[in-house]
Chain A
Amino acid sequence: MNAPACFLVQLGLALVLAPLLPGVINRVKAKVAGRRGKPLLQTYYDLAKLLGKGEVVSRTTTWTFAAGPGVSLAAALCALALLPMGGVTSPLAFGGDFLLAAYLLGMGRFATMLAALDTGSSFEGMGASREAAFSALGEPALFLAFLTLTSLSLDLGRGEAGLSVVDARAAFSLSALFNGDMAAFWQSGRPELLLAPAVFFALLLAENCRIPVDDPTTHLELTMIHEVMVLDHSGPNLAMIVYGAALKLWFFAALVAGLLVPPLPLWQHAALSLAAIFGIGCCVGLVESGMARLKLTRVPHFLGVAAALAALALILTQAR
């Protein structure tokens, strides 16, 4: 099978399997707590149910409210299409596409926040304000981690470690950063590179509103962040939001997996990447079982630690 076809198969697999990831997290949490838990396929059932329902829309809202879920889902889809799948370069890859991916996700978040503000509810405005604040605090960590990876990718391009040789422009694409070469690099005596997956994991928790930053199951008005913004959505629009959230979770899990899975033959790499993504889902479940939600005032500290780790990784990689 040629590379674009292989990429498309894996992208299709990602689109189909993404709603399974929240199911895995919930199942791990239930197992750790000694409960039976929801079925693994609960998100699929929810999506099917929501798609079959009608929608109730407040008269105070405008087209912004209706556009929010669609824009956020489209942004998550586009960002996912830029990622390499199981070591196969994305056909859409270009130098600097990591910036596009980061801002596509930002645009999706912006559309959700606008939709929340459009309802005119102060409660949803509060959630939007929290989401904006925390995502702004997460950006330094994200870009410092990308900076570390791109600087190393350039070194690889110069053939320093004798690994795959890519030209300088291609070194700045997500496909070059997350295709497994970095994993080969940390195995060859550069432990500081393990900080990058740790930073991306912390960002996964923050960006996908998981514990310790936000609790996706809570409905307590003082503590909600993401859930409060989507309270007014229902029916197919809510289905788009739920599916978009699953895709975003898959995107971040694939980033972490891309840094941990070493370069292997095509199908082995694909299988191991898939296993790693679900493994990361299990790790999220374990973190959520073992930790309480942080106080809102402590969340910036959590993101600050992630930024400090990313800065440390950057300093140490530059020093070598």
Chain B
Amino acid sequence: MIPLISLNSLFSTMLFLLLLNNLLLLGAPGLRALIRLTAFQGILLGVLLFGMEHALLACAVLGIKGLLLPGLLERTRRRLGAADEPRPRMHLGVCVVTGILGLVFSLWLETRLPILPDLFPPLLLPTALTTLFCGLILVVGRATAISQVIGYLVAENGIFLLGMPLMAAGAIWFELALLLDIFVAVFVMGNAIGHIGETFDSLDTGRFRSLRD
């Protein structure tokens, strides 16, 4: 009988869970579910990094992406009392189908891109590209500012995944710097959304277009 779990199978299981997590993010109707799924994505990224023996970065990712940023978003959500997306711009089913199409495109792209052999473990490049696409779909398809920040965070997770195989070549400091940037960006966005929410009665970004002096 084949052994139940090997390191490789654990790695591909994590990547597969990331893919599932992305599609769930696209189909999640409530903000609370979105924030939880983002936290889960951060934890999965951290576990992946532990698997690649980058303990320092793994701890940073777990702390920032798995706890701090989702905590900040949850605090903002609670302060504003925003429970659900009022009316997403794209139907959730359409979002999920677009995400699956993004996955198909990423799988096709993997076969077409000239990449160094053995640079990307199997499934890593398609997962990274799909995460990036899902982030973009969230930014475009959702109406409230807070879910768009989540989309931004998810897209960045995709870029982070793309950079993972290069860490062995000394790019770890670059990744850490990027992580800090993201932290500051989401922190600022979280505060900005808080102020928007206190000043206006809606976080629908579509309404910002009609603002006047």
Q: Do A and B come from one complex?
A: yes
Pair A315/B103 contact, Cβ less than 8 Å: yes
Pair A262/B1 contact, Cβ less than 8 Å: yes
Pair A304/B100 contact, Cβ less than 8 Å: no
A-B pairs with CB below 8 Å: how many? 47
Cβ-based interface call for B31 (8 A): no
CB proximity of A269 to chain B, nearest CB, Å: 12
Q: How far apart are the CA atoms of A226 and B97 in the complex, in Å?
A: 31
Cβ-based interface call for B50 (8 A): no
Tell me the B86-131 residues at the A interface (CB within 8 Å). Answer: 93, 96-97, 100, 103-104, 107, 122-123, 126
Q: How far apart are the CA atoms of A311 and B23 in the complex, in Å?
A: 12
Check A316/B93 contact, CB under 8 A, given A184-B2, A187-B2, A262-B1: no
Check A187/B4 contact, CB under 8 A, given A304-B93, A312-B23: yes
Pair A189/B9 contact, Cβ less than 8 Å: yes
Contacts of A266 in B (CB 8 A): none
Contacts of A262 in B (CB 8 A): 1
Which A-chain residue is minimally distant from B9 (CB atoms)? A189
Pair B126/A319 contact, Cβ less than 8 Å: yes
Cβ-based interface call for A165 (8 A): no
Q: What are the interface flags for A183-196 relative to B under an 8 Å C-beta threshold, 1 for contact and 0 otherwise?
A: 01001111110000
Contacts of A263 in B (CB 8 A): 1
Cβ-based interface call for B205 (8 A): no
Pair A192/B16 contact, Cβ less than 8 Å: yes
Contacts of A35 in B (CB 8 A): none
CB proximity of A316 to chain B, nearest CB, Å: 7
Cβ-based interface call for A308 (8 A): yes
Pair B2/A301 contact, Cβ less than 8 Å: no
Interface range on chain A (Cβ under 8 Å from partner): 20 to 34
Pair B100/A315 contact, Cβ less than 8 Å: yes
Pair B100/A311 contact, Cβ less than 8 Å: yes
Q: How far apart are the CA atoms of A189 and B121 in the complex, in Å?
A: 13
Q: How far apart are the CA atoms of A63 and B65 in the complex, in Å?
A: 66
Pair B107/A308 contact, Cβ less than 8 Å: no
CB proximity of A214 to chain B, nearest CB, Å: 22
Which A-chain residue is minimally distant from B122 (CB atoms)? A320
Cβ-based interface call for B191 (8 A): no
Which A-chain residue is minimally distant from B7 (CB atoms)? A189
Pair A315/B107 contact, Cβ less than 8 Å: yes
Q: How far apart are the CA atoms of A308 and B24 in the complex, in Å?
A: 11
Pair B6/A312 contact, Cβ less than 8 Å: no
Pair B16/A301 contact, Cβ less than 8 Å: no
Q: Which of B12, B13, B93 contacts A301 (CB 8 A)?
A: B93
Cβ-based interface call for B27 (8 A): yes
Q: How far apart are the CA atoms of A191 and B27 in the complex, in Å?
A: 21
Q: Which of A184, A308, A320 contacts B1 (CB 8 A)?
A: A184
Q: List 11 A-B contacts (CB under 8 A).
A: A187-B4, A189-B9, A189-B13, A190-B9, A190-B12, A304-B93, A308-B23, A308-B96, A311-B100, A312-B23, A319-B126
Q: Which residues of A contact B (CB under 8 A)?
A: 184, 187-192, 262-264, 301, 304-305, 308, 311-312, 315-316, 319-320
Task: Give 4 nearest A-B pairs by CB, closest first.
Answer: A189-B9, A191-B13, A191-B16, A319-B107
Given contacts A312-B103, A315-B100, 9 further A-B contacts (CB under 8 A): A187-B4, A188-B2, A188-B9, A189-B13, A190-B12, A308-B97, A312-B19, A312-B20, A315-B107
